Amino acid sequence: MTTAEATEPTSVLTDSGVFVPGPGYDVPGTVERYRDSFNRTLRDELNRDADVFIMGEDISGGFDRDTLEPLDAWGGPFAATKGLVQDFGPDRIRDAPISEAGFVGAAVGAALTGLRPVVDLMYFDFVTVAYDQLLSNAAKSRYMFGGQTKVPLTLFARSGGGTGHAAQHSESFYSMLAHIPGLKVVVPSDPYTVRGLLAAAIRDDDPVFLVNDKKLINEVGFAPDESYELPLGKGRYLKHGDDVTLIGMSYTSVVCKQAADALAEEGIDAEVVDMLCLSPFDEEIIVESVKKTNRVVIVDEDTPRASMASEFAAIIADKAFDYLDAPVKRVTGPHTPVPYNKGLETAFMPQPDDVVNTVKTMLGV
Amino acid sequence: MRLTREKLHWLYETMYRIRRFEETMLEQTFRGNAMGVTHPSDGQEAVPTGICAHLTEKDWIGSTHRGHGHCIAKGLDTKAMMAEIMGRYTGQCKGKGGSMHIADFSKGMLGANAIVGASVPLAVGAALTAKYRGLENESVGVAFFGDGATSQGVVHESMNLAAIWKLPVIFACENNQYAEATPAWYAVSTDDIAARADSYGIPGVQVDGMNVFAVYEAAEEAIRRARAGEGPTLLELKTYRYHGHFHADDPKKYRKSDEEEEYLERDCIQHFERLVSQQNAMTEAELEAIRDSIEQEMQEAVDFALNSPMPPIEELYSDVYVNYSNPLVGLR
Ligand SMILES: Cc1ncc(C[n+]2csc(CCOP(=O)(O)OP(=O)(O)O)c2C)c(N)n1
Ligand SMILES: [Mg+2]
């Protein structure tokens, strides 16, 4: 535990300016891995509300053959639920068979009847096994039943390339979720934001999908000890700058920040916007930043067709067209599945250099 | 049961090749030479071996994340497999698929699949092609899947489809009793998966999957039925994986050592060796000659893979479509 030392204390929980919390903020907190913040937040929410329970494959990690006790052998996929079954028991940390369509549907049913299920879908790719339940049941029930009901369901899963898991375990198809009216989509990018957004997602009365890029899971950062919510639908600035806006989401926010740091060394002052939420998303922060810098590069690991990058570009064209000094550029994955070979996989994923080169070409330097 | 000398030889060679491939592949994975996650199948060799012993290149199999054994039993080249796992251009899929996606369409291998349950309907589709063309007698579909996969809806849908259309399919459920760390006794509602066949009106047989002769015999009848146009069969093959779920998993965290030892004692390769020597069907010298040649094959596979080139960057963009070279290379 390291308590943030306050020189000029700012409250990270109330400051709506630049949010890169750490030493200098007036709240006690911990420098920890993303996954520890995630786990701690699940624990907070399980303690806070007896209707919250978690469901997913291997989240209590097997059972002892003789005592029938859960073993927590894996701590859940990516250790997200580690230690929870010991404290909350197998009814609230409910291990599920490999039946994504079934248990996501059951979670929707439980949510319609008063519980607040949280579902671990393991890899983001497995969304499609349960997609019908998300699209046709979770997202539409409230609307098609004339507002009679609500679906306070939270789902989470791990997206992205970088681990050699190849085509069927490396998806980032955020837009396939953001496309669905009725479903909210959030993409934290560090321990601080995952803590606030996960709490907000679980407390929200609509279905919310929280996507964790695998590359973030062991990233370290500061997160306040106390529980808090970040607003669903708000982005943040990771860095202010005047020359160009870099828009990131999930891990590409880290990529944008790295690119901005590299550009700074060459005298180019980039602004970095971290979207945090993809549905609803923060149009104002995009428009505000582009009006200031007049140039924008959107960085998205998803494939480019009908992507979040395309959507943000459309908003910019609509609402900030007159402020643009250069065409909007997107740095995305190519229109291909994710390959296995490390070199190809790396080439698939947007790298800081790709962003730097795009900016330099744009500025003609 | 009558087996030719060649078949007997093939059964041993195939099981031993799978065993040594998995061990060698794991060693290479731990040396950092594999580019991603690998799921070893050692312990389960008798299952693909006993089944594929009846298949030709015109028959199709669908496979899983734990697919190396299926590939080898279906006759895939261990060099190209090892190279694929090492992400090389000479690999079975040019290094683009990896351990979880090895496929060889020239050998009737529809691909390993990393979505649990997803390859089962593919084998049904292959059988549909055979029936459509009137070729059931020479082309059946075999779907390999785990105990964990039996919880997927698509697996049940596939069985019903194959049953109503009387397709030449063998549903081969490799019940190694765990799905990741989750035991089948928790996740599967019955300890008799084969009995579920009843509800589809097809035969279901529970088989000792540690005994290659038992697998061989059960598969023989299932495949005979399929080729004769009598429709699908569900085989539940009781087996065990010796290693963890994936290369870095420690199964001791969720399995008891007495259980592991019980299965090690029933090891399919040792069982085979004991039986053939009791019956004087193969000499120790013959067995040793097979082992030696496989040892050499493994060394050659590793050397081949390590000395193979990486795929060129352009490979990232190829093979997305048949007849469209897509210009969206990331819009950079
Ligand atoms: C649709 C889907 N859900 C979850 C997973 C993650 N996963 C990979 S293998 C596995 C267990 C599979 O168990 P089983 O079918 O028994 O095969 P085994 O690993 O024992 O060979 C799981 C849950 C996946 N790959 N696909
Ligand atoms: Mg299994």
Q: Does A347 touch chain B (CB under 8 A)?
A: yes
Answer yes or no: do A97 and B331 touch at CB < 8 A.
Answer: no
Q: Are B270 and B233 in contact (CB under 8 A)?
A: no
**Structure-token pair, residue A298:** 């959107």
Report the C-alpha gap between A271 and A295 in whole angstroms: 10
Angstrom distance (rounded) from CA A73 to CA B181: 7
CA distance B111 to B104: 7
CB of B179 shorter than 6 A to ligand 1: yes
| Residue A147 Cα to chain centre, angstroms | 28
Phi, psi of B105 (to 5 degrees): -70, -20
Cα–Cα dist B74/A155, whole Å? 39
For residue B138, CA distances in Å to B48, B50, B108, B208 come to 19, 18, 12, 27
Token pair, residue B170, equals 């063998």
Q: Which of A32, A45, A100, A311 is catalytic?
A: A100
Query: Mind telling me how many Å the CA of A12 is from chain B's nearest CA?
Result: 35
Q: Any idea where the domains of chain A sit in the sequence?
A: 2-224, 236-363
Strand pairing class (B141-146; A93-95)? unpaired
**Other Cβ atoms closer than 10 A to A355:** 28
The single-letter DSSP state of residue A118 is: E
Q: Closest Cα of chain A to B118: distance in Å? A: 9
Q: Among residues A251, A252, A269, which one has the least CA distance to residue A260?
A: A269
Task: For domain A236-363, give the CATH number.
Answer: 3.40.50.920
pLDDT at A24: 55
Ligand nearest to the CA of B181: 1
- Is the Cα dihedral B231, B232, B235, B236 positive or negative? negative
Tell me which residue of A118, A249, A114 sits closest to A173, measured CA to CA. A249
Distances (CA, A) of B299 to B12, B82, B310: 19, 11, 20
Cα–Cα distance, A6 to A235 (Å, whole number): 25
CA distances from residue B127 to B75, B138, B158 in whole angstroms, order as listed: 20, 10, 11
pLDDT value at position A6? 36
Q: Identify the helix (H) or strand (E) that includes residue B175.
A: strand B169-175
Both structure tokens of A183: 């479903």
Q: Suggest the residue from A344, A345, A353 to mutate for an interface test with chain B (most B CBs closer than 10 A).
A: A344
Ligand 1 nearest atom to the CA of residue B117, by list position: 1
**Burial of A301 per CB tally in 10 Å (0-12, 13-18, 19+):** buried
For residue B199, what is the DSSP state?
G
Return the structure tokens found at A226: 């106390």
CATH superfamily of A2-224: Thiamin diphosphate (ThDP)-binding fold, Pyr/PP domains (3.40.50.970)
Quote the pLDDT of residue A18: 44
How does DSSP classify residue B92?
A: T
CA distances for A289 relative to A17, A236, A237, angstroms: 13, 11, 9
**Interchain proximity B95–A166, CB inside 8 Å:** no
Would the CATH topology of A2-224 be identical to that of A236-363? yes
Per-residue pLDDT tens over the stretch B88-105? 999 999 999 999 999 999
A101 strand-pairing partners: none
* Ligand having the closest approach to the CA of A59: 1
Q: Between these two residues, B325 and B145, which has the higher pLDDT value? A: B145
The amino acid present at B151, given as its one-letter code, is S
C-alpha span between A228 and A41 (Å, rounded):
9
Q: Are B124 and B157 spatial neighbours (Cβ–Cβ below 8 Å)? A: no
Q: What is the H or E stretch that residue A264 is in?
A: helix A251-265
Torsion B315-B319-B324-B329 (CA) sign: negative
Average model confidence (pLDDT) for chain B?
96
Known catalytic residue: A100? yes
Contact A344 B187 (CB under 8 A): no
Cβ(A127)–Cβ(A134) below 8 Å: yes
In chain B the domains, ranked by start, together with CATH numbers, are 5-307 (3.40.50.970)
Query: Over its length of 365 residues, how does chain A's per-residue pLDDT go in tens digits?
Result: 333 343 444 555 555 444 555 555 667 888 899 999 999 999 999 999 999 999 999 999 999 999 999 999 999 999 999 999 999 999 999 999 999 999 999 999 999 999 999 999 999 999 999 999 999 999 999 999 999 999 999 999 999 999 999 999 999 999 999 999 999 999 999 999 999 999 999 999 999 999 999 999 999 998 889 999 999 999 999 999 999 999 999 999 999 999 999 999 999 999 999 999 999 999 999 999 999 999 999 999 999 999 999 999 999 999 999 999 999 999 999 999 999 999 999 999 999 999 999 999 999 99
Mean pLDDT of B173-194: 97
Rg of chain B on CA atoms, in Å: 20
CA B314 – CA B311 distance, rounded (Å)? 8
φ, ψ dihedrals at A266, nearest 5°: -100, 15
Q: In terms of CA atoms, which chain A residue is nearest residue B35?
A: A164
Q: Rounded CA gap, A182 and A203, in Å?
A: 16
Q: What is the enclosing helix (H) or strand (E) of B275?
A: helix B268-278
At residue B73, φ and ψ (nearest 5 deg) are: -65, -25
Q: Does A301 touch chain B (CB under 8 A)?
A: no
Strand, helix or coil at B124?
helix
Beta partners for A298? A247, A330
- A346 is written with which tokens? 């790396």
B65 has pLDDT over 50: yes
Ligand 1 contact, B181 CB (< 6 A): no
- Which of A55, A95, A98, A170 to mutate for ligand 1's pocket (most ligand atoms within 8 Å of CB)? A98
- For the stretch B235-260, pLDDT in tens is 999 999 999 999 999 999 999 999 99
3-state SS class at B289: helix
What pLDDT does A25 receive? 63
Q: Could you report the per-residue pLDDT of B12-39, keeping only the tens digit for each?
A: 999 999 999 999 999 999 999 999 999 9
Nearest chain B Cα distance for residue A333, angstroms: 5
Element housing A52 (H / E):
strand A52-56
Q: Do B153 and A99 touch (CB under 8 A)?
A: yes
Give the lowest-confidence range in A3-7, A313-317, B228-232, B306-310. Answer: A3-7
Measured CA to CA in angstroms, residue A81 lies from A78, A84, A120 at distances of 8, 6, 9
Please report, as a single letter, which amino acid is at residue B109.
M
In contact, B38 and B25? CB cutoff 8 Å: yes
Spacing of C-alpha B275 from chain mean position: 24
Burial of residue B320 (CB within 10 Å: 0-12, 13-18, 19+) is middle
Q: Does the annotation count A240 as an active-site position?
A: no
Q: What is the pLDDT of residues B147-160, one digit of tens each?
A: 999 999 999 999 99
Token pair for B229: 């146009």
Nearest residue to B167 via CA among B127, B197, B207, B224: B127
Out of B18, B39, B65, B99, mutate this one to test ligand 1's pocket (max ligand atoms within 8 Å of CB): namely B65
